[in-house]
Amino acid sequence: MSTMKFCRECNNILYPKEDRDNKILLYACRNCDHQEVADNNCVYRNEIHHSVGERTQVLQDVAADPTLPRTKSVRCAQCNHGEAVFFQATARGEEGMTLFFVCCNPNCGYRWRD
């Protein structure tokens, strides 16, 4: 499990970013220009592709994705598990970004919005 990193300038979450020219892994803020070199240069590439009908598998893959940040500060409304993956995405038919959580319990995979 990866440790979450936060931007020193605006305190937002830093996300892994591959610098292919220099062959290094960076952590970059999506809200400002802050970047920092990762302690480990191992690059994880998420190449998950699913059709719309495979939602259950997509949620399991999201919960297992080591690049997504995790939290133990919220509990799953379905199974009460205490760990979830969270990410921002555009909700279908809506504008702007929404914060989504996916339960890390392999037998649950429940998804909810903040």
* Residue numbering of the annotated binding site for Zn(2+): 7, 10, 29, 32, 76, 79, 103, 108
- CA-nearest of 63, 54, 68, 14 to 38 is 14
Locus of tokens 């290094």: 24
* C-alpha distance from residue 98 to each of 24, 37, 50, 80, 88 (Å): 30, 28, 21, 22, 5
Could you tell me if 100 and 112 are in contact, meaning their C-beta atoms sit under 8 angstroms apart? Answer: yes
Q: Which residues are annotated as a binding site?
A: 7, 10, 29, 32, 76, 79, 103, 108
- What does the alpha-carbon distance between residue 56 and residue 61 come to, in Å, rounded to a whole number? 9
